[in-house]
Amino acid sequence: MKRKVLVIAGATAVGKTSCSIAIAKQFSGEIINGDALQVYRGLNIGTAKITAAEMDSIPHHLIDTHTIEESYHVKSFQEEGRELIEAITNRGHLPIVCGGTGLYIKSLLYDYTFSDQAKDEDFIIFLGTLSNAQLFALLKQVDHKACETIHPHNRKRMIRALEMAHLGDKKSDIIDRQEHKLCYDAYLIGLTIPRDQLHQRIEQRFALMMKQGLFEEVEGLVKSDPNIWERQCFQAIGYKEWSDYFNGKATIAQCGEQIIKNTKRFAKRQDTWFRNQLPMHWYDTQTDDWQKRIMSDVEQWLQTKGDGNHG
RNA sequence: GGUUCCUUAGCUCAGUUGGUAGAGCAAAGGACUGAAAAUCCUUGUGUCCCCAGUUCAAUUCUGGGAGGAACCA
* Cα A306 from Cα A186, distance rounded (Å): 9
Distance, angstroms, CA A253 to C1' B68?
29
C1' nearest to CA of A102: which nucleotide? B36
Which nucleotide lies nearest residue A275, CA to C1'?
B30
Q: Amino acid letter at A65? A: T
Q: Which residues of chain A have pLDDT under 50?
A: 308-311
Nucleic acid strand B: bases within 7 A of protein CB = 26-41
The pLDDT, as a whole number, for residue A119 is 84
A139 CA, B24 C1': Å apart: 35
Q: How many CB atoms lie within 10 A of CB A178?
A: 11
Q: Which nucleotide is nearest to A232 (CA to C1')?
A: B35
Crossing angle of helices A102-109 and A74-90, in 10° steps, is 50
ipTM: 0.94
B35 C1' to A232 CA distance, Å? 7
pLDDT at position A306 is 61
- Residue A309: the pLDDT is 46
In this complex, which residue's CA is closest to the C1' atom of nucleotide B30? A272
Spatial separation of the C-alpha atoms in residues A294 and A281, rounded to whole Å: 9
**How does DSSP assign A136-160, residue by residue?**
HHHHHHH-GGGGGTS-TT-HHHHHH
- Radius of gyration of the CA atoms of chain A, in A: 21
User: Nearest nucleotide, C1' to the C-alpha of A107?
Assistant: B33
Give whole-number Cα distances, A129 to A99, A137, A142, A151, in Å. 36, 14, 18, 18
Burial of A188 (0-12, 13-18, 19+ CB in 10 A): buried
Tell me, in Å, how far CA of A79 is from C1' of B47?
60
DSSP state of A304: S
Phi-psi region of A31 (alpha: psi -120 to 50; beta: other; left: phi over 0): beta
* Size (chain A), residues: 311
Q: What is the pTM of this model?
A: 0.93
The separation, in Å, between residue A265 CA and nucleotide B9 C1' comes to 21
d(CA A111, CA A109): 7
Distance of A183 CA from B45 C1′ (whole Å): 49
Q: What residues form DSSP beta bridges with A182? A: A110
